[in-house]
């Protein structure tokens, strides 16, 4: 069946007729040697009328592309024969194909490099510890890992020896060479060597009579389908990061494996940048700062995902709440209070029960009714809308609440304050006429931008979150409604000129939404603000208003949250400011350091004056050295530290130390107060 020449379609539209067996590297070289040197792998897509069928080994499942979860089912997902796939630069092309050379900039290239780095790691481990048995070594989102079985645990010293050995493997620049062996022969060899994991993989993922694919670099050979970078020398920036335990096949009855994590990049510079970001992320981590700065805690006796706000964290939260309530009052919102639970029937009517059940806590049985903690505040606000007749003149009705809600998030997904099970949302539901949607939408967007400016948030992006059509369980089934919602949202976005990207399967069950995404230092994104268009709940509750013509009409609902949940926003602000909050948000704004006990009375006087001026102040009256007190306030990232002794007291002055600045200034207390109050009033991020 095989032809002597094949047609290779290049991205620029050119078609090359080349002998069968030509490799992507040959093609790259024929274009330019520089392109050849820059290429990592090739992406090929069979041309539909191509005669060549993929050969037996090409159909072999891929044992090495797991994400961190590494469930076997997803590891070895079957492939679509017509989909683009990556192949080695040295892979002979056997049929007509589209071909794209993948260079280092392509995100797929990094994945390939990282899988190759896993082979480099395994090569190093076997050179140092030949008794080790190999599991598998996939690329992950942040690097790669390899699972090993060895009775003795690897020590931190072993890890650094492994990293040095990896450097040798890289320096040897060994080519990755693909080899094939009959399955039965491969199995016999693995069994003889006691390689129980490889035996398992080969048995499970190849069929009798198959040729089994291996990759060799130097003396190291691994059962693997690839692809790989051309040679180990491409792994220029790498690091063996950590060791952790993992059970073979995720089952605790199986032997315990040692999983070595690493990361890899095409350059040392990329690696250094990544490690620096990682350090920065550690320094900013809100879970760590939450402890150090005494902002919040989580108690096992209360439960996971149910944080306790300590006084300092509560201060920040209260300031944020006051800030947003004030902004909403000025923007025409009316605030309400509603209970944290309701009868199950309410959520059956709203559709939460049918579509959002999995995220709800189980119901509680009372005498003859069932109550449930609310996962959202909408139904309660709807009942407030319904509590009286509404006319078109009343609309829009904007009902807002710092609404506490409960969601059954998976325990593995919980994280500090950023993903919790009990949360208080800066929520509002706007009930309006269809004509008012656009204006309301744009007012909400302006509020978001205003709030971000005031909070010092500058990096964010817009995401249009749409339903997944096929998922009838998660989304209300009403095509016309979804299409209308999507169209209206797009129109509103376009008229504001906002750039956005789309995400399928991220909508609320009742309608599409515009989400505002913030990323942390590592680039990990979460949704904060959200604006959601809803034609569904007004229907479920048969909401009405009387129009000018006297007829009854149905209002539209907009669900919106400007600053997200208090939990998530505070977690973000902690990381954004690395705990060094702007003056208006700092839990303690001024630290007072009396030089000796003699100055206690002066300290009290200053404290009282600052309090009276509305400033948050803490005195360190301990019998400690002045410098120790200053250091402790500095560790708490206190914006201002006022130091005073005889000299200051007799002149009615204070010595002011400003966070982040080296110079100190002495000034009358009244001047300091004026300055501080001004910075608070303008929500300045500078001191």
Q: Which helix (H) or strand (E) holds 153?
A: none
**Taking the complex as a whole, how short is the minimal distance between the CB of residue 402 and ligand TSB, in angstroms?**
12
If binding is defined by CB under 6 A, does position 426 make contact with ligand TSB? Answer: no
Does residue 378 have a known ligand-binding role?
yes
| 116 counts as binding ligand TSB under rule CB under 6 A | no
**Is 429 flagged in the annotation as binding?**
yes
Binding-residue total with ligand TSB (CB under 6 A): 22
Give whichever of 202 and 437 is closer to Zn ion, judged by the CB atom. 437
Alpha-helical regions (H) of 418-507: 437-455, 479-496
Residues 121-140 that bind Zn ion (CB under 5 A): none
Which residues from 524-553 bind ligand TSB, rule CB under 6 A? 527-528, 530, 532
**Residue 212 half-sphere exposure toward CB, CA atoms < 13 A:** 27
Residue 419 touches ligand TSB, criterion: CB under 6 A: yes
Contacting residues for 483 by C-beta, under 8 A, at least 6 apart:
none
Closer residue to ligand TSB (CB): 243 or 420:
420
559 scored as a contact of ligand TSB (CB under 6 A): yes
Listed residue (591, 610, 600) closest to 645, CA to CA: 600
Contacts with Zn ion, 376-415, as mask; x by CB under 5 A: --x-------------------------------------
Q: Which does 425 bind (CB under 5 to 8 A by kind): Zn ion, ligand TSB, none?
A: ligand TSB
Q: Which part of the chain contacts Zn ion (CB under 5 A), choosing from 157-165, 209-217, 372-380, 628-636?
A: 372-380
SS (H, E, C) 73-142: HHHCCCCCCCCCEEECCCCCCCCCEEEEEEECCCHHHHHHHHHHHHHHHHHHHHHHCCCCEECCCCECCC
* Shortest Å, Cβ 420 to Zn ion: 18
**Shortest Å distance, C-beta 53 to ligand TSB:** 47
Identify the DSSP state of 389.
-
Query: Which residue, 275 or 325, is less far from ligand TSB as judged by CB?
Result: 325
Helix, coil or strand: residue 268: helix
Which one of 14-22, 348-356, 558-566, 675-683 is the stretch in contact with Zn ion (CB under 5 A)? 558-566
Q: State the sign of the Cα–Cα–Cα–Cα dihedral 299, 305, 306, 312.
A: positive
Q: How far is the CB of 654 from ligand TSB (least distance, A)?
A: 41
CA–CA dist 289, 578 (Å, integer): 8
Q: Which of 43, 559 has the CB closer to Zn ion?
A: 559
Tell me how far apart the 2 most distant CA atoms of the chain are, in Å. Answer: 102
Q: Of residues 106, 409, 620, 632, which one binds ligand TSB by CB under 6 A? A: 409
At 6, which helix (H) or strand (E)? strand 5-9
Question: Could you tell which of Zn ion, ligand TSB, none binds residue 567, using a CB distance below 5 to 8 A set by kind?
Answer: ligand TSB
Pick the stretch among 66-74, 81-89, 374-382, 669-677 that binds Zn ion (CB under 5 A). Answer: 374-382
Rounded Cα distance between 650 and 198, Å, is 81
Q: Give yes or no for residue 561 binding Zn ion (CB under 5 A).
A: no
Q: How far is the CB of 267 from ligand TSB (least distance, A)?
A: 36
The Cα–Cα gap between 12 and 626 comes to: 71
Where in 300-319 is the site for ligand TSB (CB under 6 A)?
Answer: none
Q: What is the DSSP letter of 534?
A: E
**Distance between CA atoms of residues 396 and 441, nearest Å:** 12
Among 425, 514, 595, 673, binds ligand TSB (CB under 6 A): 425
Cβ 628 vs Cβ 644: under 8 Å: no
Confirm or reject binding of residue 376 to ligand TSB (CB under 6 A).
Answer: yes
Give the tokens for residue 174: 């060994």
Q: Specify the residue, 443 or 564, whose C-beta has the smaller distance to ligand TSB.
A: 564
Query: Which residue lies nearer to Zn ion by CB, 513 or 559?
Result: 559
Q: State the minimum distance, in angstroms, from the CB of residue 558 to Zn ion.
A: 9
Cβ–Cβ under 8 Å, residues 335 and 353 = no
Q: CA 332 to CA 355: how far, in whole Å?
A: 32
Distance separating alpha carbons of residues 530 and 563, to the nearest angstrom = 9
Q: What is the DSSP letter of 507?
A: S
State which residue, 378 or 492, has the beta carbon closest to Zn ion. Answer: 378
Question: Cβ(299)–Cβ(307) under 8 Å?
Answer: no
Should residue 559 be labelled a site residue for Zn ion when binding is judged by CB under 5 A?
yes
CB of 507 to ligand TSB, least distance (A): 10
**C-alpha 656 chain-centroid distance:** 40
Cα 32 from Cα 27, distance rounded (Å): 9
Give the integer Cα–Cα distance in Å for 232 and 124: 12
Residue 422 annotated as binding site: no
574 binds, among ligand TSB, Zn ion, none (CB under 5 to 8 A by kind): none
Give the nearer residue to ligand TSB in terms of CB position, either 262 or 305: 305
In the chain, what is the straight-line distance between the N-terminal and C-terminal CA atoms, in Å?
A: 77
Minimum Å distance from CB 489 to ligand TSB? Answer: 14
Query: Among all chains, which residue has been given the structure tokens 């998030």?
Result: 409
258 binds, among Zn ion, ligand TSB, none (CB under 5 to 8 A by kind): none
**Residue with structure tokens 């400007």?**
562
419 binds, among Zn ion, ligand TSB, none (CB under 5 to 8 A by kind): ligand TSB
Asked if 496 and 445 touch (Cβ cutoff 8 Å), the reply is yes
Tokens of 21: 């067996």
Q: From the annotation, which residues make up the binding site for Zn(2+)?
A: 378, 429, 559
Can you give the binding site for Zn ion, defined by CB under 5 A? 378, 559
Q: From the annotation, which residues make up the binding site?
A: 378, 429, 559
Can you give the binding site for ligand TSB, defined by CB under 6 A? 376, 378, 407, 409, 419-420, 423, 425, 427, 429, 508, 527-528, 530, 532, 559-561, 564-565, 567-568
């Amino acid at each position: 069946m095989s032809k002597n020449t094949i047609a290779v379609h290049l991205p620029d539209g050119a078609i090359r007729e080349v002998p069968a067996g030509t490799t992507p590297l040959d093609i790259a070289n024929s274009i330019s040697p520089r392109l050849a040197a820059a290429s990592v792998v090739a992406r090929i897509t069979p041309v539909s009328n191509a005669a060549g069928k993929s050969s037996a080994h090409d159909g072999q499942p891929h044992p090495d592309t797991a994400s961190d979860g590494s469930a076997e089912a997803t590891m070895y997902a079957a492939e679509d024969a017509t989909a683009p796939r990556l192949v080695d630069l040295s892979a002979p092309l056997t049929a007509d194909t589209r071909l794209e050379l993948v260079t280092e900039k392509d995100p797929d290239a990094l994945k390939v490099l990282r899988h190759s780095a896993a082979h480099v790691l395994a090569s190093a481990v076997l050179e140092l510890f030949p008794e080790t048995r190999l599991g598998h070594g996939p690329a992950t989102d942040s690097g790669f890992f390899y699972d090993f079985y060895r009775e003795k645990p690897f020590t931190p010293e072993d890890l650094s020896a492994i990293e040095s050995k990896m450097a040798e493997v890289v320096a040897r620049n060994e080519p990755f060479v693909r080899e094939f062996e009959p399955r039965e022969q491969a199995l016999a060899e693995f069994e003889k060597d006691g390689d129980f994991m490889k035996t398992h993989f080969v048995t499970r993922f190849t069929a009798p009579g198959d040729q089994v694919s291996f990759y060799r670099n130097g003396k190291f050979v691994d059962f693997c389908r690839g692809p790989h970078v051309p040679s180990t020398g491409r792994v220029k920036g790498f690091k063996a990061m950590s060791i952790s335990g993992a059970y073979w096949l995720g089952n605790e009855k199986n032997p315990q494996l040692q999983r070595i994590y690493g990361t890899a990049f095409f350059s040392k510079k990329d690696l250094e940048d990544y490690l620096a970001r990682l350090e920065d992320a550690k320094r900013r981590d809100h879970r760590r700062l939450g402890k150090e700065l005494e902002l919040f805690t989580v108690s096992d006796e209360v439960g996971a995902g149910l944080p306790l706000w300590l006084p300092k964290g509560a201060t920040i939260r209260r300031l944020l709440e006051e800030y947003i309530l004030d902004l909403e009052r000025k923007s025409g919102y009316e605030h309400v209070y509603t209970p944290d639970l309701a009868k199950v029937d309410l959520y059956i009517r709203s559709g939460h029960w049918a579509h959002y059940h999995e995220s709800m806590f189980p119901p509680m049985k009372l005498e003859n009714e069932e109550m449930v903690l609310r996962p959202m505040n909408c139904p309660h606000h709807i009942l407030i809308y319904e509590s009286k007749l509404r006319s078109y003149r009343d609309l829009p009705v904007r009902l807002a609440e710092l609404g506490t809600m409960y969601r059954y998030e998976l325990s593995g997904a919980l994280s500090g304050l950023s993903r919790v099970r009990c949360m208080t949302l800066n929520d509002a539901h706007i009930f309006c006429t269809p004509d008012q949607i656009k204006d309301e939408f744009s007012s909400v967007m302006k509020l978001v931008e205003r709030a971000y400016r005031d909070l010092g948030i500058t990096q964010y992006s817009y995401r249009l979150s749409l339903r997944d059509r096929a998922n009838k369980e998660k989304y209300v089934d009403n095509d016309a409604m979804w299409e209308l919602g999507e169209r209206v949202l797009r129109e509103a976005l376009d008229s504001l000129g906002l750039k956005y990207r789309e995400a399928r399967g991220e909508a609320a069950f009742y309608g599409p939404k515009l989400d505002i995404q913030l990323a942390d230092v590592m680039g990990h994104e979460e949704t904060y603000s959200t604006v959601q268009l809803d034609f569904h709940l007004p229907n479920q509750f048969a909401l009405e208003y009387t129009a000018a013509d006297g007829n009854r009409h149905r209002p539209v609902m907009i669900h919106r949250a400007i600053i997200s949940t208090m939990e998530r926003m505070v977690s973000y602000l902690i990381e954004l400011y690395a705990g060094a909050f702007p003056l208006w948000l700092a839990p303690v704004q001024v630290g007072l350091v009396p030089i000796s006990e003699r100055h206690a009375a002066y300290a009290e006087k200053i404290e009282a004056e600052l309090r009276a001026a509305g400033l948050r102040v803490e005195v360190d009256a301990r019998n400690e050295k002045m410098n120790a007190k200053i250091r402790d306030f500095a560790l708490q990232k206190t914006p201002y530290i006022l130091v005073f002794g005889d000299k200051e007291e007799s002149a009615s002055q204070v010595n002011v130390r400003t966070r982040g600045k080296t110079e100190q200034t002495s000034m009358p207390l009244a001047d300091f107060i004026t300055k501080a109050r001004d910075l608070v009033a303008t929500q300045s991020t500078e001191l």
